[in-house]
Chain A
Amino acid sequence: MLAYAARRLMLLPISLFLVALVTFVVLRLTGNPVDIFLDVTSTPEQVAALTEKLHLDEPIPIQFLIFLRDLAQGDFGVSLQFNEPALSTVFQRLGGTLQLAGTGLLIAIVVGVILGLVCAVWRDRFADLAISSVAVAGQSMPSFWLGILLIQLFALKLGWLPTSGAGGWRHMILPAVTLATFLLPNIILITRASVLEMSGEQFVIAARAKGLSRLRVLLTHVLPVSLNPLLSFLGIQIGTLMGGSIITETIFAWPGVGRLMLTSISNRDVPVVEAGVLVIAVGIVLTNLAVDLLQMLIDPRIRRH
């Protein structure tokens, strides 16, 4: 299993190279950053100096090579907005994002798995019909809209929670719940389907025949086997979670990578965008590796290779 993890980590640079290539090309397709950072009164000398500093006077392939060389040294250049190294700008905000995304993911998994189990156990009864239909409706509800509604109710009307910004745990509740709703409906529905499917397996009846109680069989036999489809889903959806972070952080003015990315894109802060995209890409690759390793840990049949 460790050897497998090591092999997968060796593929990481290839993923990162591809991400770097795409980021590089897309950013250069969207316009010249010099025009944004220098106002109309700037002299041609200033323009030339900045152009040279960003290596924008070189041919595109050379620019890419320079970009890769700097990348290898962890040097993304200096943020045009903050005038500090782009990578450290991103790292400063990474903690906030991990905190928010981690809490949101935890809420989504815990609540989603419990509700999914409830649906499966009371299949076609009231609880199942109620939860499933809310989940299906939730799949089609834009989460940013929910976020705004939550702010209106809990922050403005009731005044229980702060509207935005970061501080104590009370600041965390609304954004984390909003972010959780990006994944929650699917987690409920996948858990429900997976648990129902596994409940029909022969080994479930065999476990009951040993004299284990219904609840014990559900929690110790059915649930663990049902987790793998859920983990696959989470691995695929980690990108959705990142996208959700950008939206949520923006709505709640949460100081994280997501909001930083959004402002950096509108300000054409190329170094920060490049650093941010690569950090997110590393995060996604590592998350998927973690998902694969977890699945191997759960199901020994996947370990054979």
Chain B
Amino acid sequence: MADDIATSHPSRVVALAEAATDARALLSVRDLTVEFQTGQGRFEAVHRVGFDVAKGQVLGVVGESGSGKSVTALALMRLLPDHAARISGGRIVFDGSDIVPMREAEMCRIRGRRIGMIFQDPTTSLNPIFTIGHQLREGLRVHLGLGRAAANRRAEELLNLVRLPSARAALDKYPHELSGGMRQRVMIAMALACEPQLLIADEPTTALDVTTQAQILELLRDLQQQMGMAIMLITHDLGVVAEFADAVQVMYAGRIVERAPVSRLFANPAHPYTQGLLYSMPALEEEDPPVLPAIPGMVASPFAMPMGCPFHPRCALASDVCRAAVPPLNPIAHAHSAACWHVDAMMAA
């Protein structure tokens, strides 16, 4: 009987095996749940999310605002706003040790040293009253114990590394004296200062104009190849993922709904939400694009999460089972999983 289930539902066995963390992975997240406590009540912004990032891998995380992708990133850094949010379950194993129960002092040795992070808006991410050099030196002095002169030399090297023009002069500049693109280069330099094994980039190009976006992405890709770090790239822009990531996972309403290697996801999207995202991308070759199809409806409110699959109110395929039960994230092909009751129908189509 047990054999029977295993053969007819190979996915279950794999799902059970997956609950263990992957020792070879640089980052192995299992069942991560983040709970928010607000004036309007309690809700889970991230629900039992699990994924791995291998050494040197670029993982794209895609989803709309409110899908839980930024909250996941902050949870990995243990930087959730502590009066409002907490990790209520799960494990985050980074380089062999679980960081969820770690003391703050230990976390301080990981943040900025072994995991770097860059943020969406480089304008508000730099302290307006300190020079670029000062803000770059801080991390170097704390983590590497460099003296002022050594930290300054390293800071200049870093600015050259991120191809900031006239790096030496920029050290004495204040954030408001730089352009948005230059500020994001500074943020990248800061995040990479101690050559971290993992870089979390939370919408690194969203606040920039289109040409600058391309330059920053190119810079990130070059640095990734040069330094070999893993990157978790959070974005709502599938185009960015297509250019840059090795694997991609799609998040919706605090859950991972689909995960696949990039080429596979673009060729064979299995989840109706992923398909919706792909169809709402403008195709570059079209001179005069038609009106883009949009996914109908709104992201589910965390306070009024629908029963069953959280996507069903917006889904054309929704049936009774979708309204009754949350679909598990099951493997459907090699390295490809999706959380949809109608996956088979989708793939056949």
Contacts and interface: CB of A to CB of B under 8 A. Distances in A.
Given A301-B174, A301-B176, A209 B77 contact: yes
Interface in A256-305: 298-301
B215 interface: no
Given A211-B139, A212-B112, 5 more contacts: A203-B127, A206-B187, A210-B111, A212-B142, A299-B128
Contact of B104 (A124, A201, A213, A225): A213
Nearest to B109: A211
Interface stretch (B1-9, B113-121, B282-290): B113-121
B126 interface: yes
A214 interface: yes
Contacts of B127: 203, 207, 221, 225
Nearest to A228: B129
Interface of A: 123-124, 201-203, 205-214, 216, 221, 224-225, 298-301
B342 interface: no
A211 B79 CA distance: 11
Interface string B2-25: 000000000000000000000000
Interface of B: 74, 77, 79, 83, 104-105, 108-113, 116-117, 119, 121, 124-130, 135, 138-139, 142-143, 174, 176, 187, 190-191, 193
7 contacts: A202-B124, A205-B119, A210-B139, A213-B104, A298-B129, A299-B128, A300-B128
B318 to A, nearest CB: 38
Contacts of B117: 206, 209
B147 to A, nearest CB: 18
A225 B116 CA distance: 24
Contacts, number: 78
Contacts of B124: 201-203
A301 B79 CA distance: 28
Contacts of A212: 108, 112, 138-139, 142
Contacts of B190: 206, 210
A224 B129 contact: yes
Contacts of A213: 104-105, 108
A293 to B, nearest CB: 15
Contacts of B112: 209-212
A291 B231 CA distance: 46
B125 A206 contact: yes
Given A206-B187, A210-B190, A213-B104, A301 B138 contact: no
Given A211-B113, A301-B174, A203 B139 contact: no
Nearest to A198: B127
Contacts of B77: 208-209
Nearest to B196: A211
B111 A208 contact: yes
A202 B176 contact: no
| CB-CB nearest 4 A-B residue pairs | A211-B112, A202-B124, A210-B112, A210-B139
Given A123-B83, A205-B79, A205-B119, A210 B126 contact: no
B129 A300 contact: yes
Contacts of B130: 221
Contacts of B111: 208-211
A300 B135 CA distance: 15
A68 B249 CA distance: 80
A216 B108 CA distance: 11
Nearest to A301: B176
Contacts of B129: 224-225, 298-300
Nearest to B134: A220
Contact of B142 (A124, A211, A300): A211
Contacts of B74: 205
A299 B131 CA distance: 11
A205 B111 CA distance: 11
A78 B187 CA distance: 66
B138 A208 contact: no
Contacts of B109: 211
Nearest to B111: A211
Nearest to B193: A210
Q: Which of A201, A212, A225 counts the most B-chain CB atoms under 10 A from its CB?
A: A212
A300 B138 contact: no
Nearest to A205: B79
A203 B142 contact: no
A156 B197 CA distance: 68
Contacts of A211: 108-113, 139, 142-143
Contacts of B104: 213-214
Nearest to A206: B125
A123 to B, nearest CB: 7
A131 to B, nearest CB: 18
B79 A208 contact: yes
A211 B110 CA distance: 7
B57 to A, nearest CB: 21
A167 to B, nearest CB: 43
Tell which of A124, A201, A203 has the most Cβ of chain B within 10 Å. Answer: A203
A300 to B, nearest CB: 4
Contact of B126 (A123, A124, A206, A298): A206
Contacts of B121: 202
A213 B193 CA distance: 17
Contacts of A224: 129
Contacts of A206: 117, 119, 125-126, 187, 190
B70 to A, nearest CB: 11
Nearest to B125: A206
Contacts of A216: 142
